[in-house]
């Protein structure tokens, strides 16, 4: 994992989703933030609302960051998302590509790893 400022911002972003503490959104997200998987959520204020809405509906949803590659303005994150309290849930594996501008997260693209059929 990277220990640079980009890695710190990314880790804090996923911690925000896991804890519901949105106070850091303005510190880590660029004012023009866009998540291309959810283009309707733009800017830190919309992210704060999305975090509250999703956590209210699924309070046990948890993001796990396995690896962060890169630093500066481009970062790739390998991780998973799931509900740890449900043993029948297998976590979904994801790759997030994140562009930073002025030290803040500006854009994110999400790629889902397809699970083989059983």
| Contact criterion met (CB below 8 Å) for 9 and 100 | yes
Domain boundaries, the chain: 5-112
d(C-alpha 52, C-alpha 68), whole Å: 25
pLDDT score for 114: 60
pLDDT score for 72: 85
User: What's the token pair of residue 96?
Assistant: 């997030």
d(C-alpha 57, C-alpha 110), whole Å: 21
Q: Domain 5-112 belongs to what topology?
A: Nuclear Transport Factor 2; Chain: A, (3.10.450)
DSSP-derived 3-state class of residue 44: helix
Residue among 83, 89, 88, 80 nearest 112 (CA): 80
| Contact criterion met (CB below 8 Å) for 64 and 80 | yes
Q: What is the pTM of this model?
A: 0.86
pLDDT string in tens for the chain (118-residue length): 556 888 899 999 999 999 999 999 999 999 999 999 999 999 999 999 999 999 999 999 999 999 999 978 999 999 998 876 655 555 578 999 999 999 999 999 999 876 555 4
DSSP-derived 3-state class of residue 40: strand
Of the CA atoms within 13 Å of residue 107, those in its CB half-sphere come to 7
């Amino acid at each position: 994992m990277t220990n640079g400022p980009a890695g710190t911002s990314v880790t804090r972003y996923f911690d925000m989703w896991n804890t519901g503490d949105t106070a850091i959104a303005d510190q880590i997200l660029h004012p023009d933030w866009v998540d291309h998987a959810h283009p309707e959520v733009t800017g830190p204020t919309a992210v704060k609302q999305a975090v509250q809405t999703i956590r209210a509906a699924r309070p046990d949803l948890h993001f796990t960051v396995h690896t962060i590659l890169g630093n500066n303005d481009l970062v790739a994150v390998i991780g998973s998302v799931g509900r740890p309290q449900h043993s029948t849930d297998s976590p979904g594996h994801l790759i997030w590509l994140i562009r930073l501008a002025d030290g803040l997260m500006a854009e994110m693209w999400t790629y889902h790893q397809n699970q083989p059929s059983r």
